[in-house]
Amino acid sequence: MDNAIVATHPHTHETAVAAEHEHVVLPQHRHHFETKEQQREAATFGMWLFLLTEIMFFGGLFFAYLLYRNWYHDAFVVSSNQLSIPLGAANTAILITSGFFMALGVWAAEVQKKGLLVLFLVLTTFFGVAFLGIKAVEYHEKWEKHHIPGAHFDVSQFINPQAYGLKEKPLAPDMAQKTQVFFFLYFAMTGMHAFHMILGIGLLFWLTWRANRGEFSSGYVAPIENFGLYWHFVDIVWLFLFPLLYLINRHPGY
């Protein structure tokens, strides 16, 4: 008889469940965490780890870029001169502004100001979309200039730049071919970055909708904080891409 009671254990279980319900403070508190602090710490720690995987993910591309930049220095110089610094710089400013509003958004969530939070999230989204718009203009320009690697790529403008009105040093045909490597890496790296932006903007819409419902106005701010980390990470990747692709190597003294 003892065995049967022990096996199903109805009494102990019900009291335990009741006890558990007492310290559930927030609806967002998941049952498997002891406290909401533990839940928040776990979410933040998980986010940092995820960003670590992202660093390794982009790391492969940066590794390839560094390698080929050393090997095909001349081709990379000429190619990087084809990128528009004004557009790149404008995008850098826009993205930093977006990151600034995201930081304000996290602050607004922490001080539990719903209206401000929604406003800042909308502004973050706006500048994020503006960034992608400029990126699209740049991609279109690359298409028109036949700088997209593959069948339409025009190598001859790097072999004989004068005929195209470019003030570049002519490259030997095999080195001119290497400009494709630069543009392939340019599209791979900025494309991967833009893909992260698109995902982020999707998440921003979702967070704005939730913020508008008042979900983050009660002290539960982990999603906003963690998205903020993600958004800043995407900013930082761009802050490496901009100098590497656009700025360094420009017009050395020949």
Shortest separation between residue 115's beta carbon and another protein, angstroms: 30
Entry field: residues in the chain: 254
Residue 181 CB, nearest approach to another protein (Å): 5
By C-beta, is 101 or 183 nearer to another protein? 183
CB of 3 or CB of 86, closer to another protein = 3
Minimum distance, C-beta of residue 9 to another protein, in the bound complex (Å): 6
Closer CB to another protein, 118 or 237, in the complex? 237
* Chain CA centroid to CA 31, Å: 31
Q: What does the binding site for another protein look like in residue numbers (CB under 8 A)?
A: 2-3, 6-9, 12-13, 16, 30-34, 38, 41-42, 45-46, 49-50, 52-54, 56-61, 63-64, 67-68, 71-72, 75, 149-151, 153, 174, 177-178, 180-181, 184-185, 188, 192
Q: Which is nearer to another protein, 38 or 218 (CB)?
A: 38
- Residue 56 CB, nearest approach to another protein (Å): 4
Q: Does the CA dihedral 91-93-96-100 come out positive or negative?
A: negative
Please give the Cα distance from 189 to 42 (Å, whole number). Answer: 31
Closer residue to another protein, CB minimum distance, 180 or 208? 180
Give min distance, CB of 112 to another protein, in A: 25
Token code pair at residue 3: 């065995």
DSSP 112-170: T-HHHHHHHHHHHHHHHHHHHHHHHHHHHHHHHTT-SSSTT---HHHHSGGGGT--S--
Structure tokens at 168: 């570049």
Q: In this structure, what token pair is assigned to residue 198?
A: 């698109």
